[in-house]
Structure 1
């Protein structure tokens, strides 16, 4: 058996490429020649590489001379193998273009047509799940411009292992933006860049457990994977009740062993109300009196419509509130960029928990986001998306008023989702009917804390999720399944 790496020219573009430097052109190709005959072994190896997709259609193969030298066999053996495979249709050989993998149509497969009432196997036809922005709205051109500028200006040391706090360029840009747009006291040295909100919450959970905190209070409606992250850190998550004024933070003092509370103060998820000023003050008073902490999840604070901006709770007491922000809703969750604005006493503990080096957040993405913010592109993008989401919200409200006038819509003054209230006892049947119609949507009960009694039947409609082209169809599908 001969086992060797052969250098192969890559794809159709290779035919127009200039001379190879040092005789090296394209990609490496790993071939294993098995059996007693070299030509047969080479042909089998090439067939397998094409069949399995390791050699894509159009890939240019090495010359017979080059491949023979790489494999340590005679050039005629390679030339004969190429010629026979070309005759079989595996390869093509043209003057001036070299030997390439033949382009062949994939075999057709009979695909059963699903009934109209069932969703497609590849996923729902319409997606109104909350938690995601319109990914088609990601500002690709502006992001690329920022990336080029950031890469050009980056110092050499930026490509090392990195400060666990994150790049100073991003922390400085965030400090300026958060102070201006969200009312956050955010000195750069008190910001830790993390890989999204959940990563930040996991770090805080470990720090709190190391401080002998036994429990973190949570809102009675929220995301289960946030509760799970705290539970995995060894913390209990007792719920706080909610009403029209938000989370009843005055009841924090009644919970035993609680050392922190997780709040969505600007826009409660998923019910949608802002935390009343009296409740904000009560939370801060509790934290000061008990040496506790408030973990503030400001997940979509930039998007407000019919109300004055609601600033971050953190501004009331930066030494008692940990502010958690993310680019997931304003840009895209795939960037995996979030940030913690910490009380001074927590900076060393959190950065130590994160590790000696920044091993989770890409330096290039950090530098690009810093440039994106500093150039004003971030503000322009947020304003543009705010108008887009407001139009969708208005279209949602208008469509429901026309086609389902008995339905009440709440939580619509801000954010990327709305609460569509349902007649008592109908939530489960509506969610099931939506699934059969190819519509992905969550019921309110999905977000209820396990120890909380059932409340109002409702759907949580993520109107920010679909693209502009998909939105009308998703809205129509929603109206069809409502009782």
Structure 2
């Protein structure tokens, strides 16, 4: 019988309690596996310098608690189903960070304009009347809504009056509130682009929506395929389709608006990273073409930081009031100080200056990633390079997504597989984000990724 290492300090007294706690901890931690035989009472007493009565009492307590079981002729053993299989990662704790993280969806958090944001916060708080810090309009502060309307009209060609944008805690909350409002109007069948964001799919399903996939080709959403469904709502990313990076073609934009009007349907436009277009000015949003049939959702998650939880929704007039009421009963409104700071950043031009700065940096990173992929993975097809913070890499024929992802992670590179984003089968592909790595590190990450592809 192997020695059972349980610490017992004679100077502390309560020897039975010490032994009981030590044995219990050993079982819980798995050091004493289920079914393992513990030492006989005489043997353990001799090993630890205890009286046999102390060991007998400790064993009896643990049998009573269910940690140990005693059987005549076979000694005392660890009860099944008690020992932990493995220590669980604490809820909410961050995942281990790989050396090279190419996961899409996160901007360069080091580029957040801290000085400008602090200055805007100070100016806004100095000028704000005390009443601004109380409960206000759940749709958002009037000054921010007015600034947002001007900004969206100028840079996204949106059709929104000063009081029309509703301030929300990011696109996720905007979509969740919208699902609730639309259910009251009988809209329960949603179409989505196939492939699309796995987070969006998960959110829809969490709120009871069973999404219908509509294929995406090189011109964007296939509107003819959409028309063949019974969906009355479609969720799209027309400025930079996620994950393929396709920009919805002008003909398809017109077809989509005609579909919405002829079917009294609704288009939900997730304008998630439209600020970053590299070949020309960003294409205007769909909402400006059909304000009565398009809901425009946007946020600061890509342009500033997702941790701000600050976004907006521009809705058809017939839905706006119900949406604001849903927002009221969700949280009574978004944080006031963040709204004041962002309104100040918009009005003073600080947000536009920030976008110009980071857009140039992201373009350099995009170029570095594309050049490295063409050099190290010439058989793979690169798409979606005109805009955004990620690109779409269709792997060489015969590649298995899961093998490439696992091989890359083993080399310290995190990449995002496209298979979980699909509702129907498609080619092996990856979505590669480039917002968080320097040009040099992007080049090295592609070298390692190429090794994973070759080894898969």
TM over 0.5: yes
Residue 243 (structure 2) aligned to one of 255, 264, 270: 270
1:404 Cα deviation after fit: 2.6
| Aligned Cα root-mean-square deviation (Å) | 1.9
Cα distance per residue 1:124-147 (max 9 Å; x no partner): 121100011011111111111111
Q: Corresponding residue for 2:367?
A: 394
Structure 2 residue corresponding to 1:183, chosen from 126, 143, 157: 157
Match of 1:252 in 2: 226
Partner of 2:261: 288
1:325 maps to what in 2? 298
The within-5 A match list for 1:56-455 is: 122-256=96-230, 258-355=231-328, 359-426=332-399, 427-449=401-423, 452=424, 454-455=425-426
1:308 Cα deviation after fit: 4.1
Structure 1 CA distance for aligned equivalents of residues 138 and 274 of structure 2: 26
Question: What SS does the aligned partner of 2:260 have?
Answer: helix
Residues 413-471 of structure 1 deviation map (CA, whole Å, 9 limit, x = unaligned): 1000011221233222111101111211112212112xx1x212121100113367854
The alignment covers a number of residue pairs equal to 360
Displacement of 1:340 in angstroms is: 0.2
**Conserved in 1, the CA contact under 8 Å of 2:145 and 2:165?**
yes
Q: Deviations over 1:218-257 (max 9, x none)?
A: 111111221232233333311111111110123332212x
| Per-residue deviation, 1:476 | 4.2
Deviations 1:327-367 (A, max 9, x none): 00000000000100111111111011112586352100011
- Cα separation, 2, equivalents of 1:384 and 1:309: 16
**8 Å contact kept, 1:133–1:330:** yes
Q: Which moved more, 1:398-407 or 1:324-333?
A: 398-407
1:203–1:266 CA distance, 2 compared to 1 (3 A): same
- Matched-pair contact (CA < 8 Å) for 2:369–2:439: no
CA contact (8 A) 2:379 2:396 kept: no
In 1, Cα distance between equivalents of 2:432 and 2:278: 17
What is the alpha-carbon distance in structure 1 between the residues aligned to residue 429 and residue 137 of structure 2? 45
CA 1:146 to 1:252, structure 2 compared with 1: closer, same or farther past 3 Å? same
**Helix, strand or coil at the partner of 1:152:** helix
Q: Is the Cα contact below 8 Å between 1:185 and 1:318 reproduced in 2?
A: yes
Whole-angstrom distance in 1 between the partners of 2:206 and 2:403: 33
Q: Structure 1 residues 327, 187: closer, same or farther in 2, change over 3 A?
A: same
Partner Cα distance (1:121, 1:197) in 2: 24
Equivalents in 1 of 2:96, 2:198: separation in Å? Answer: 25
Cα–Cα, structure 1 residues 357 and 273, in superposed 2: closer, same or farther, change >3 Å? closer
Taking the aligned partners of 2:381 and 2:212, their CA distance within structure 1 comes to 30
Q: Which moved more, 1:125-134 or 1:283-292?
A: 283-292
| Contact 1:209 1:233 (C-alpha < 8 Å) held by counterparts | no
Cα deviations by residue, 1:386-409 (Å, 9 ceiling, x for unpaired): 111110111112222222322321
TM-score between the two structures when normalised by the length of structure 1: 0.71
The answer to whether the Cα contact below 8 Å between 2:139 and 2:333 also exists between their aligned partners in 1 is no
Unpaired runs of at least 5, structure 2: 1-93
1:142-189 residue CA offsets vs partner (Å, 9 max, x unmatched):
111111111111121111112110111111111010000010011132
CA distance in 2, matches of 1:248, 1:416: 24
Distance 1:183 1:466, change over 3 A: same
- Structure 1 segments (4+ residues) deviating >6 Å: none
User: What TM-score do the two structures reach when normalised by structure 2?
Assistant: 0.76
In 1, the alpha carbon distance for the partners of 2:156 and 2:345 equals 18
1:477 aligned onto 2:420: no
Give matches, 1:10-29, under 5 Å.
none
Q: Deviations over 1:53-98 (max 9, x none)?
A: xxxxxxxxxxxxxxxxxxxxxxxxxxxxxxxxxxxxxxxxxxxxxx
Report the secondary structure of 2:163's partner residue. Answer: helix
Distance in 2 between the 1:476 and 1:369 partners?
40
Look up the match of 1:462.
433
State the SS of the aligned residue for 1:350: helix
Distance, in Å, in 2 between the alignment partners of 1:474 and 1:178 is 36
Give the secondary-structure state (helix, strand or coil) at the position aligned to 2:232.
strand
